[in-house]
Amino acid sequence: MNAAPDRVVVVGAGFAGLSAALHLAGRGREVTVVERQAWPGGRAGRLDVAGYRIDTGPTVLTMPDIIDQTFAAAGKERAHFVDLRPVDPAYRAMFADGSSIDVHADADRMTAAVREFAGPAQAAGYLRLQAWLQRLYRTEFDGFIGSNFNSPLSLVNRRLVQLAAIGGFRRWDTMVKRHITDPRLRRIFTFQSLYAGVAPQHALAVYSVIAYMDTVAGVFFPRGGVRALPDGLAAAAVQTGVEFRYRTTVSALDRTGGRVTAVRTDDGERIRCDAVVLTTELPETYRLVGRRPRRVIPLRPAPSAVVMHVGFRPADATPHAHHTILFGESWEQTFTDIIRDGRTMRDPSLLVTRPTVGDPTLAPDGRGLLYVLAPAPNLSRGAIDWSRQGRAYAGTLLEAVRERLLPELGAGAELLGLHTPADWADQGMAAGTPFALAHTFAQTGPFRPANTVRGIANVALAGSSTVPGVGVPTTMISGRLAAERVTGSRDERHRPATVLDVKVPLR
């Protein structure tokens, strides 16, 4: 940022903001985090009702090494702040034909499960697919996911050639089909494309790195619920000297020339700063900086979701999976319904999370807690009146879960919370989607809204709508990348300049 910023204000205490704060504090900066809620977490919200402790945001945590690196950036050890436990199986996949398979991150256990489920040829194909996913991740991470881009020319490097050589720019579904032919198994390694906003038949294979995070790196759950992770990150930041201002909303940025000199809050306070990291929702970011990106292709939001939280009385002590994916029979139709036609799924495919499997204390004694996520059209695509149809649709989803997974969901079940695209919009999320921008080619890497702002020298952006993208690990990486915009990369001062180092702040 052509300066030595000592005082940095981070706006927002979500995963991106917390990551940025820890990286900045670890590099000796004086950091203040301003957060409108009374707690940290951002999209990882919380709801406490009737003795239940509910996570309203993400429930699937992957890539614990990135979490550990974030704590380590400030000289802290994650284990001192968060008890993060592996979830095994990572998922249980259940299909419309009545078959099911447990998905394990351990290659040997997963190979055995696939062999029993679909035979030795598919088991051998799984091993080839797993090796390909690992190679894809190693090739992609440093050059694309974990790096700042100064211009599209930054893509022109050795890793781009390697990525093309291993099929990264072919179709996601095509590459998975090369190794696995059983259509049920293919769904396990491609369903993640729905949250990236593109059907697997159209998504580039580079995005299958999301399947690597789930099915190879593994899934984890903190004791105390997902909220325990932002709580732990914030506690580590406080120990490092970071100041938090909760229940405080940023209303404006004071500027002198091309630099921000202070952050103004809704209660009239003026917080002086040398640099700012904004993790606000994209519309609010544009309002604060007073400009919008200049793009030939309009930004495309990802699909949204309906999420409901249900308390119930378990019928027996039979073990259940922490995460269950209920695949409908008309899986391909799901993408047409949501992405093209802007309607709810005619044959629902659902993610059902039972957090009380990982921590029974999240519900009252003798009760269980369910989190049910149904992909849905965002508000820019669909024309659904969620205020009138939301609860009725939730009832339809609850009946589907009862029929296909938990027969004990009956009169004793209680709807504790419901979030529809309209509710996400009320929280300021563009187009009513918690998944931010779709990961189309035109919204990936240097083509995604950048983490710098044209004409403002000391503002960096972080969060789901900027690089590298959506998801807990990637938003934490975005916090690190924003911190590096402020302080410079630790490696940058030792790296000779190249013709690719073109300084083009993002559109």
| DSSP string across 185-210 | HHHHTTTTHHHHTS-TTTSBGGGGHH
Is residue 193 pLDDT above 90, yes or no? no
CA distance readout (Å), 290 to 35, 51, 341: 21, 44, 34
Q: At which residue do the structure tokens 């083509």 appear?
A: 447
Is residue 447 pLDDT above 90, yes or no? no
CATH architecture of 7-86+223-299+438-487: 3-Layer(bba) Sandwich (3.50)
Is residue 311 pLDDT above 70, yes or no? yes
Is residue 490 pLDDT above 90, yes or no? no
Of the pLDDT bands very low, low, confident and very high (cuts 50, 70, 90), residue 122 is very high
- Residue 128 host element (H or E): helix 120-140
Per this entry, what is the length of the chain? Answer: 507
Structure confidence by residue, pLDDT tens digits, 3-52: 566 999 999 999 999 999 999 999 999 999 999 999 999 999 999 999 99
Every domain of the chain and the residues it spans = 7-86+223-299+438-487, 106-216, 301-436
Retrieve residue 498's tokens.
């190249």
The rounded distance, in Å, linking the Cα atoms of 178 and 21 is 43
Average of pLDDT values for 122-127? 98
Planar angle of CA 473, 147, 63, nearest 5 degrees: 20
The rounded distance, in Å, linking the Cα atoms of 460 and 41 is 20
Q: At which residue do the structure tokens 């004793």 appear?
A: 412
Looking at residue 162, what is its pLDDT?
A: 86
Structure confidence by residue, pLDDT tens digits, 76-96: 999 999 999 999 999 999 999
Looking at residue 155, what is its pLDDT?
A: 62
Looking at residue 10, what is its pLDDT?
A: 98
Residue by residue, DSSP assigns 81-122 as T--EEEESSSEEEE-TTS-EEEE-SSHHHHHHHHHHHH-HHH
The rounded distance, in Å, linking the Cα atoms of 444 and 281 is 18
- Residue 418 host element (H or E): strand 414-419
Of the pLDDT bands very low, low, confident and very high (cuts 50, 70, 90), residue 497 is very low
Which of 421, 234, 436 is CA-nearest to residue 343? 421
Structure confidence by residue, pLDDT tens digits, 216-239: 999 999 999 999 999 999 999 999
- Residue 461 host element (H or E): strand 456-461
Structure confidence by residue, pLDDT tens digits, 262-282: 999 999 999 999 999 999 999
Strand intervals (E) in 313-391: 323-326, 350-353, 368-376
Model's pTM, two decimal places? 0.94
Structure confidence by residue, pLDDT tens digits, 138-174: 988 877 788 887 766 666 567 778 888 999 889 999 9
Q: Which residues contact 290 (CB under 8 A, 6 or more apart)?
A: none
**3-class secondary-structure state, position 168:** coil
Of the pLDDT bands very low, low, confident and very high (cuts 50, 70, 90), residue 489 is confident
